[in-house]
A and B are shown apart, each in its own frame.
Chain A
Amino acid sequence: MTAYSEFSVGEPIADTAAPDGPIESRWERRRFGVKLVNPANKRKMRIIVVGTGLAGGSAAATLAEAGYQVTSFCYQDSPRRAHSIAAQGGINAAKNYRNDGDSVQRLFYDTVKGGDFRAREANVHRLAEISVQIIDQCVAQGVPFAREYGGLLDNRSFGGVQVSRTFYAKGQTGQQLLLGAYQALERQIDAGRVEMHTRHEMLELVVVDGRARGVVVRDMVTGEIETHLADAVVLASGGYGNVFYLSTNAKGCNVTATWRAHRKGALFANPCFTQIHPTCIPVSGEHQSKLTLMSESLRNDGRIWVPAQAGDTRSPKDIPEDERDYFLERQYPAFGNLVPRDIASRAAKNVCDAGRGVGPSGLGVYLDFSEIIERTGRDAVAARYGNLFDIYERITGEDPYEVPMRIYPAVHYTMGGLWVDYDLQSTIPGLFVVGEANFSDHGANRLGASALMQGLADGYFVLPTTIGDYLATSRLEPVAADAPEVREARAQVTERIERLLAVDGTRTVDSFHRELGHIMWDHCGMERTEEGLRKALDLISELRREFWRSVKVPGSADTLNQSLEKAGRVADFLELGELMCLDALHRTESCGGHFRAESQADGEAERDDEHFSYVAAWEFTGAGEAPVLHKEDLVFDHVTPSQRSYK
């Protein structure tokens, strides 16, 4: 048997859907090029959408408005609770309402560069074009964006770019955008055009004659296994940051929907590209179940520091100025505390590794507001950040007006995901992937306020156009409810559930998840080395065997069983983690959120465009079996790749 790390390289893949020619008009030409579905035929076609976040909720509502029959699923008790709801900061759009020199071209450029030149130009340009329509759409739906006294929309700057293009609704932008999509979805449910299934989890994809034709889901209340068939399937199931156990993701976020599709033939692209956000509240103990983000906007006014001497345990107030190290300001005088997320995170890790971290665990740095409070007064700071200071106080019991906040980096977003072409179609015909679940637009690092933009661009505007082309050009015969492929998919689901319940071992699901998280964080986190990644591959494969030998899942399959739900998800994370480590091992360059210690110059990430200017799309060959790597070469015709510098 070949070792897992002995992967082979298969045929390269090409994005065959993207038109060529001038980038400014590619999307327009693609829209003209798509075949349309006759409205009378739309009513006879059914599309399944898995997930109800910004991408899935907006897609389901828009497809139903267009006349299709839609079946929608979410694991939460209501479509309004998808994790897009927790996004704080804002959503970017190239409106140039500030007259500060913004444009579609500039948003395109910033996003390609911010992604460290590992995203597809044509997709990113389309995203920038559509950004302006998203704001119009959301305002029309009643999203209460922040406004100025003249009644027009307010903007703020975000994520280190030089223009103010971020629209926001206090620190609850994700919530307000999601409620807009959710209400549009509920309107279609009421009109009978969307069949909504809450508390349902997709556990298998049904592929017939090489095309995605349905899903097998479990009703999480009754345990019933159901098959749903359709003409096309859309996955909008989010990212996989919970492979690290601790992350800013919701507890239920998981990789199962995309991983099941991957096992059925969809390629998984750039799995190692994960974003670690620098400003999260540190872990307080082994009981910790999740991490909470403190908005990036705090770095506009807070100063980050640690004691200059290792082992200095004095309270922060007793440490005089000249015994503090404002390490970002010292190392990056030009950008200071406002360096991009990946750089700020690594710098914090380095000072903590050197023994200068603060707090009970030593894994934290100070984010200090004393200077701004002294300069502008407590009330001015409260007006700007009061909400965030309250959240901090609630979680830590410390008052950030009096003592500096303690922060530490945490896993926040995954840029990788299922490979899709320009039409957002995966390598399985009829399977489309939108939002964080696909890999397409953010390259190796996502800029702040761009996730909401991508989710809604995909769901409101891109997918509803491109999926029509697939449906209009494919001859789809009805699938029988007892077709062999359907029976096989159902059998896979029931067998797996029976297997999980049958182990009846000695360890809880959470204990395995926690251990996997430690392995991933230590070896496939902020800094990766060949030695560490090889070790992680061994540890994960051993842990997976141990899981199937000694996991304990109480209860039965025919009732609400949260342990069983978690067990299935963790089993998939145990396979995904291995692929992430392999992807990180093979990519010997550093780029964006992927930092290989072996590839640096003067302590900064060093890209290797000669060898790695490609998307790594992996083909599944069996659990624990060496996968096959397919490369999609990235071509930069409009932006010239350069080495990022923030010094």
Chain B
Amino acid sequence: MRLTLKIWRQEAPGATGRMVGYQVDDADEDMSFLELLDVLNEKLILSGDEPVAFDHDCREGICGSCAMVINGEPHGPQKATTACQLHLRHFRDGETIVVEPWRAAAFPVVKDLVTDRSAFDRVIAAGGYISAPTGAAPDAHATPVPKANADRAFTAAACIGCGACVAACPNGSASLFLGAKITHLGELPQGRPEQDDRVVRMVEQHDAEGFGGCTNTGACTVSCPKEIPLDVISQLNRDYLHATTGSRRSA
């Protein structure tokens, strides 16, 4: 296959970036999208240019490292698929493909397609856990968990923290990411004692990082490679309201 790529090149944080066009003549439909970038980078290195920097690691859709907007969509056109699992058979010979980094105020560009997503770590650090110091645990069967709750917790816990939801959102909100963690921990009896503090602190951190508010466009769940359902955001709102009204602690 012959493909034309238009890729965002930016040397450093804060530097002025620009779209640069490249041609790859020997692409193969069995290649993954990242392998296409590998092939391009090998050519760039041999011709004395700097290769395109991009985050990637497991290349099997679970680590959440890879992060790029392909033809206007986070992770590209295939539903429920990370960029590393997207293969070229979904593109046409001769096609021009536009590749950009995540665009969100809370994810500044580090270089080319690499962004700084450490805001996500800080949101988790603000309460996205259950305080269970090592050694303090009762027997695993001490507290049965109804299967329906366990399954919902699992569905929400499948989030890989890639940030596609933020990149897709017109407001740059991380509500889907945040709601997923609130739902995962809140569905489990072990997570209940800290439920109120958790949601208040995590929302405060979310806002402090510069993520926007949610206006229910649903673009996040459409772009999510793990298909985290939109109802985790309703859960987030419900828990937040519960935690900040009435006799409960206020924000």
Chain A interface residues toward B at CB < 8 A: 58, 61-62, 65, 76-81, 83, 85-86, 95, 97, 133, 135-142, 144-153, 169-170, 172, 175-176, 179, 182-184, 186-187, 189-190, 196, 198, 221, 248, 250-252, 284-285, 287-290, 292-293, 391, 394-397, 460-461, 464, 506, 508, 510-511, 552, 554-555, 559-560, 562-563
Contacts and interface: CB of A to CB of B under 8 A. Distances in A.
Contact of B51 (A292, A506, A563): A563
A170 B155 CA distance: 10
A135 B138 CA distance: 10
B132 A148 contact: no
Contact of A198 (B34, B39, B118, B129): B118
A414 B226 CA distance: 30
B179 interface: no
Given A81-B65, A460-B134, A141 B129 contact: yes
User: What 3 A-B pairs have minimum CB-CB distances, sorted nearest first?
Assistant: A151-B144, A183-B129, A140-B137
Contact of B31 (A187, A285, A292, A508): A285
A392 to B, nearest CB: 11
Nearest to A150: B144
B85 A147 contact: no
A81 B34 CA distance: 18
Interface stretch (B53-61, B93-101, B234-242): B53-61
A287 B55 CA distance: 18
18 contacts: A61-B134, A65-B133, A76-B65, A77-B116, A78-B117, A83-B63, A137-B135, A140-B132, A144-B188, A147-B145, A151-B150, A169-B157, A183-B124, A198-B118, A554-B44, A554-B49, A554-B51, A559-B11
A148 B180 CA distance: 23
Contact of A139 (B62, B124, B125, B137): B137
B45 A95 contact: no
Contact of A250 (B11, B63, B128, B135): B63
Interface of B: 11-12, 28-32, 34-35, 38-39, 42, 44-46, 48-51, 53, 55-65, 78, 81, 85, 87, 89, 110-111, 114, 116-118, 120-121, 124-126, 128-141, 143-147, 150-151, 153-154, 157-158, 160-161, 184-185, 188, 190-191
B111 A559 contact: yes
Nearest to B150: A147
Contacts of B42: 508, 510-511
B132 A508 contact: no
Given A136-B139, A250-B63, A562-B51, A510 B38 contact: yes
Pick from A77, A141, A554 the residue with the most CB of B within 10 Å.
A77
A238 to B, nearest CB: 12
A65 B134 CA distance: 8
B65 A287 contact: no
Nearest to B185: A142
A288 B124 CA distance: 35
Contacts of A182: 124
A287 B143 CA distance: 50
A394 B88 CA distance: 11
A136 B138 contact: yes
A252 B57 contact: yes
Contacts of B46: 506, 508, 552
B137 A80 contact: no
B117 A77 contact: yes
Nearest to B54: A562
A151 B121 contact: no
Given A142-B190, A183-B128, A78 B120 contact: yes
Contacts of B55: 77
A81 B64 contact: yes
A136 B45 contact: no
Nearest to A171: B62
A140 B138 contact: yes
Contacts of A152: 141, 144
Contact of B50 (A142, A198, A555): A555
A65 B137 CA distance: 14
A142 B153 contact: yes
Given A65-B134, A183-B128, A250-B57, A560 B114 contact: yes
A250 B121 contact: no
Contact of B134 (A62, A148, A289, A290): A62
Given A76-B57, A81-B63, A554-B48, A289 B32 contact: yes
A394 B80 CA distance: 10
Contacts of B185: 142
A397 B78 CA distance: 13
Contacts of A175: 62, 158, 160
Contacts of B120: 78
